[in-house]
Amino acid sequence: MTKLIQIQGDHPLAGPPANGFFSIPVRTPQSDGLTMPAEWEHHDACWMVWPCSEQCFKGVLQEAKQTYANVARAIGDFEPVYMLVNPEQRTEAENLLGAAVTLVDATCFDSWARDSAPTFVRDEKGNVAGIDWVFTGWGHYPITGPCDEAMGIDILRQLSMRRYTAPFILEGGSIHVDGHGTLITTEQCLMDPKRNVGFTKADFEALFKTYLGIEKVLWLANGLDGDETTGHVDILATFACPGLILLNNCIDPDDPNFAVTQDARQRLTGAVDAAGNTVEIMDIPQPAPQKWNGERMDLSYINFYMPNGAIVMSAFNDPADDQAKEMMQTIFPDRTVIQIPSLPLFAGGGGIHCITQQQPSGTALPPF
């Protein structure tokens, strides 16, 4: 079964448009009964990428490598971890990671698996496939060199798993789902004209239904101040379970994030999910602002990973660290909460959620 997707405007997957539209016949996850599971559902593995970019980590690359290793080893106590690594860095990675992480040789230019690795989808029989989004280095950056646009292909080839090629630009950090048909995202990121020029909200809602099985999109306005991705939702808000959204809470009226979080709360208050239930909001404290190389880091406790039976979250040498951990333990009483110092990650532009990508449990659908 095929579906005809019409995309308006320029697009890296197609040639010149006819009458302003591209017609791209594709077989889609929706046509094959696949949807995106929630992150708290059981995983077969976690995928990561060994850091290798001096330009990205701005003088803290060695510290970032140690932090990646700490995160990977923590996750490895709960589920298998696969780390893509450039062959010339394999020995270094082995020394820091130990035997708990499986290394996979690959060509890597950056290390944000959430955005350049595939997003996995699953059907009711437990069959799993991957979506390979168009990745252009977060869209708003000029692409002056190679980026990890082939990473989705490489991972799915390693898994001998079916690959669906999506006809639009998306990064995994720009979305969160509840596993029951609801997705949360920001207008700032998705409506960025340097990502998907000419796309409307209706276009995205149709595409999310086609590729992720989404029936309801909750639109927030902007991401946090200092976010190099221009608006990824995974440092602002996330689902903790169906009907419950954790929201970064800025209480300083002089902080640019105050207006961002107040607007997000206003939009979410009274919002209804795909199941028709009014969502609940729980505030998570925002750590105090910190800078690296003169630039604000987008610090947030919201940016955590959920391995099987655990929460792996950040610490920032901040007075709110302990409070945030205690809140997470209350929210997730059946999970072990592990807190890892993460400032080197945020100096590079992201956090623990950004460097990880979950592979849900199931049987790999064979390639087409």
Catalytic residues: 354
Distances (CA, A) of 364 to 168, 200, 208, 285: 24, 33, 22, 39
Instruction: Give residues with Cβ within 8 angstroms of 361, minimum separation 6.
Output: 41, 42, 43, 44, 126, 128
Residue 297 CB-density burial (10 A; 0-12 exposed, 13-18 middle, 19+ buried): buried
The Cα–Cα gap between 104 and 46 comes to 13
Q: Angle CA(348)–CA(157)–CA(88) in degrees, nearest 5?
A: 50
Distances (CA, A) of 274 to 56, 237, 277, 295: 38, 17, 7, 38
- Closest to 49 measured CA to CA, from 141, 145, 151, 171: 151
- Closest to 133 measured CA to CA, from 119, 144, 121: 119
E-strand ranges in 198-243 read 216-220, 237-241
Residue 230: phi and psi, rounded to 5, are 55, 65
Q: Tally helices (H) and strands (E) across the chain.
A: 10, 20
